[in-house]
Each structure stands twice: as structure tokens, then as C-alpha cells.
Homo-oligomer: A and B are copies of this chain.
Amino acid sequence: MFVNTMPRYEILSEDAMAVLDRGWRRIATEIGIEFLLDEAVEAFRAAGQQVVDGNRVILDPEFVLEQVAKAPREFDLQARNPEHSIHLGGQHMAFGAVYGCPFVRQGETRREATMDDFENLVRLSQAFPELDSPGGTICEPNDKPLDSRHLDMVYALQTLSDKPYMGSVTSGPNAEDTIAMGEILFGGREAIEATPASLSLINVNSPLRFDDRMLSALVAYAKANQATIVTPFLLMGAMSPVSIPATLAQQMAEALAGIALVQLIRPGCPVVFGSFLSNTDMQSGSPSFGTPESAIGLLCTGQIARSFGLPWRSGGGLNSSQTVDAQAAYESLMTMLPTFLAGANFVMHSAGWLEAGLVSCYEKFIVDIELLRMLKHEFTPLEIDEASLAFGAHEEVGPGGHFLGAAHTLERFRECFYRPLLTSTENFERWKSKGGLDTTARAEVIWKRTLEEYEQPPLDEAIRSELQEYVDRRRTELGD
């Protein structure tokens, strides 16, 4: 996996960090956080925190930090193929595909996502080494019954890919299903408690509220020592004030409160400081992605999460564009390049995100893979030593010469530069003669070819059929 040893681009001064620190402490102590699950409220009350209005917890910041300190600074997430296990934290960066989209786009067609799409997108995630994980709800399989589709999704993630996956968070029981299926795949409860086998997204119902479904899932995962990402869901102007500092303070209060809860339930349970921070377009009222504000928020979040010694999640190929056009590309990179500058440890939505996250797009998936390939190359430190000066090449070529035929070039031309997957450098005439395909059209060729060439990773048939039996039994129990 990718280890980002380049410098971090940090923009917050010590003074600014101190202001933000005062900000979250004030929110925690003067307003508090609502937890819409009794078990969570009771856990805080039992630990000496004050509860008001039934479910609002007034948090002592020192208590919160004590809990947060119990979370591991870095941890491993296992994959059924050990070569695909990942490490979260430090300089490591792991990338997962887009998550949570009700629609898909294929070329000119935009429609409701189906289970076929889900499976195809998992296959693409498996096929490209640029992705460390297919993520979880890579799209909503709308043709499957709502009550049991989480079983279909986990089964597809476990069988079509051998990379780490994200679990269901739609309820406590659904999280329990994810855990049970993890036990089957990884050889029992002990195996997944020793090293987590799932990483699941717990969104805060911002501002300052955790809802019962997400909390039930958080509690279930924490009890099984499965990793979660506690992510304030912050579109400034809607879920937080129209101020980046105010939003960062809120993000700290919310994320730290959720992380403290995880530690109350199971001290030492791996958990990630999550960030999903952008702004509302105050003209259209719509969410806006790839904005300057989101990039600034991202850079600041990295610095903040590191100050708490926590692995953190942010970034991705986010954009608001309706098609895979110039806007889709510039907004995505406007987020993804800062993601590398800030060194996010886990990056959801790294491939396929379109239309403010409503759409999983096949062509955009390929554009994003190209961006990841380029950025991983760019954020690999340059080796500068005497040999790299290639003085012999200058001696050979001399003033006014040409390096294409130089010995130094001929020895290195295959590997010396980044080799594109999607990008075209063909001259106009040649490009035109080959059909004049724009980037999106070329991306279509690539995803289709990739799906044709896809090979399902091998899985012990006994395990596969046990998973299948579990899914069938639970589906029946759920009435589908």
C-alpha cells in the first residue's frame, strides 16, 4: 500500500490550533452532544458525565481526551488475502471506492443502481491495485429488498474481492450480520477480534447528534473490536455554521465524542477520526464539492487529527458535476491533491464519485484511478544523488543535441516516467484517426475491458457456501 513520506502541508499556526481547541471544548461543555440511544447515554452517565434533557451529554473535555487516548494510534485491518491487508495510521494511505450512491451513470445513461452494478463496481475495485478496498455501499442495490440487501452487499464484497471491506451501518442487527459473516470468512470471532476484519462508517447526524441506527451499529462493532470511522457530516451552511473554524471546532467535538464512546464500550478498539466537510452552495442551496473551502478544511483536519494521535479519514474524488466533464475532473483533483498533501490515512470515495455523491459512475471510476496513479507517483520522494545528475548524458549529447537516442535514455525509457492509463498524448491527427475519443469515451473502453478481464479471487468452497447459507437463512428470517 502507499506510504506517503513527502512533507505534510500544514497551514494552522499554534495560535489557530489553540483557538480551535477552545472551540470544541466550549461546545462539549456548554451545549453537549445528543446520543439517541439509551445504551450510549448510560455509558457516558456511568463514566461520570452529566446528562440533560434525557439524551444530551455534557462532556468534560479532559474525560473525552482520556478516552480518546485509549484508541490505537495505528492499526491493521485484515483482508482475506493477507497481501491486501492494510495498515491505518502514520504515513500510510489507503483508498476505497465511492460509497452510498443511489444512482449509477454509464456513459449517457443515468439510472437507479442495481445489484449488478454493485457487483461490477466491486470487481473494478478488486481489479485496480490503486484501490486498497472496494469500500462498502459502492452503490445502492435498489433491486434487492431493503431489509436484507446488506447481506447481499457484504456477500459480494467478501466473495468478489479479497480486499478489506466496510460493513453495514444501517442498524445494530445489520452490523451484527456483517460481524457474523466476518467470523465465517476469517475463521471465527477470535480471529476478527485479534485484528479487525471490517471498517465501518459511522456518520454523525450533525450538528451535535448521533442517531440510534448509527449508534447501534457503532456499539455492535465496538463490542466485536471492529474498526469504525466516526465522521461528522458537515456541509457548512446546513449542518454547521458558514465558517471553517466553527465547523472544525464542531467536527472535533463530534468526532472526539463518538471516539470516546467507542473507547467506553471497548477500550483500545480501533477507531478513525472521520471528516466529511464541504459547503453548501448558498446560491443553489445544493451541496458543493471540490471547493476551496473543502480543501482548506481537509488540510486543517489532518493537522488536527494528528494532534490527537488518531488515524484519520478524509478526501476523495468529490465533485458536484452532473457528467464526467472538466468540472468533474477539476473538482475531484481539487480535493484529491490536498488529500495527499495532508496525508489522509483512509480515503473513501476515491473512485467513481459523481454528482455530489448521488451517482456511482463507471467512467469516473477510471478517471479517478488515473488520478490516484498520478498522485502516488508524484508523492514518491525524488532520489537526488550524484548518479541522478546523469552528467554522462550531458557529455554525450552536448549543446544543441537531442537526448532521445542517448545511452542514458535508452537504458531507462521504459520506466523513467509515469506511464498513463487513460491520459492521451497523441497528436491531433493520430488521435482523430483513432476515433477522436475524449477522456470519458476512453474511460468506457477501459472499464469494459477491465470487467472482461476480471478474475474472481479464489475462496474455499466450504467458506463460500457457509456464507451463502448464512445469507439465505437471515434473508428468510427478515421476511425477504
Contact B438 A323 (CB under 8 A): yes
Q: What B residues does A375 contact at CB under 8 A?
A: 292
Shortest Cβ distance from A368 into chain B, in angstroms? 10
Shortest Cβ distance from A49 into chain B, in angstroms? 15
Q: What B residues does A26 contact at CB under 8 A?
A: 389, 391
- Is A246 positioned at the interface, with any CB of B under 8 Å from its CB? yes
Contact A237 B416 (CB under 8 A): yes
- A237 and B425 contact, Cβ closer than 8 Å, known pairs A382-B296, A398-B31: no
- Is A401 positioned at the interface, with any CB of B under 8 Å from its CB? yes
Shortest Cβ distance from A21 into chain B, in angstroms? 11
Contact B246 A327 (CB under 8 A): no
Shortest Cβ distance from A70 into chain B, in angstroms? 25
**Which of B22, B208, B296, B382 is close to A399, meaning CB atoms less than 8 Å apart?**
B208
Contact B291 A417 (CB under 8 A): yes
- Is A388 positioned at the interface, with any CB of B under 8 Å from its CB? yes
| Residue of A397, A400, A409 with most partner-chain B CB within 10 A | A400
8 Å CB interface, A224-278 against B:
236-246, 249-250
Can you list 9 pairs linking A and B with CB atoms under 8 Å apart? A31-B394, A238-B403, A241-B406, A243-B388, A245-B385, A281-B425, A292-B377, A293-B418, A327-B424
- Using a CB–CB cutoff of 8 Å, the interface residues on chain A facing chain B are 6-7, 9-12, 15-16, 19-20, 22-23, 26-27, 30-34, 56, 110, 205, 207-209, 236-246, 249-250, 279-288, 291-293, 295-296, 300, 320-334, 337, 341, 355-356, 358, 367, 370-371, 374-375, 377-378, 381-386, 388-391, 393-395, 397-404, 406, 408-409, 412-414, 416-420, 422-428, 431-432, 436, 438-440, 443
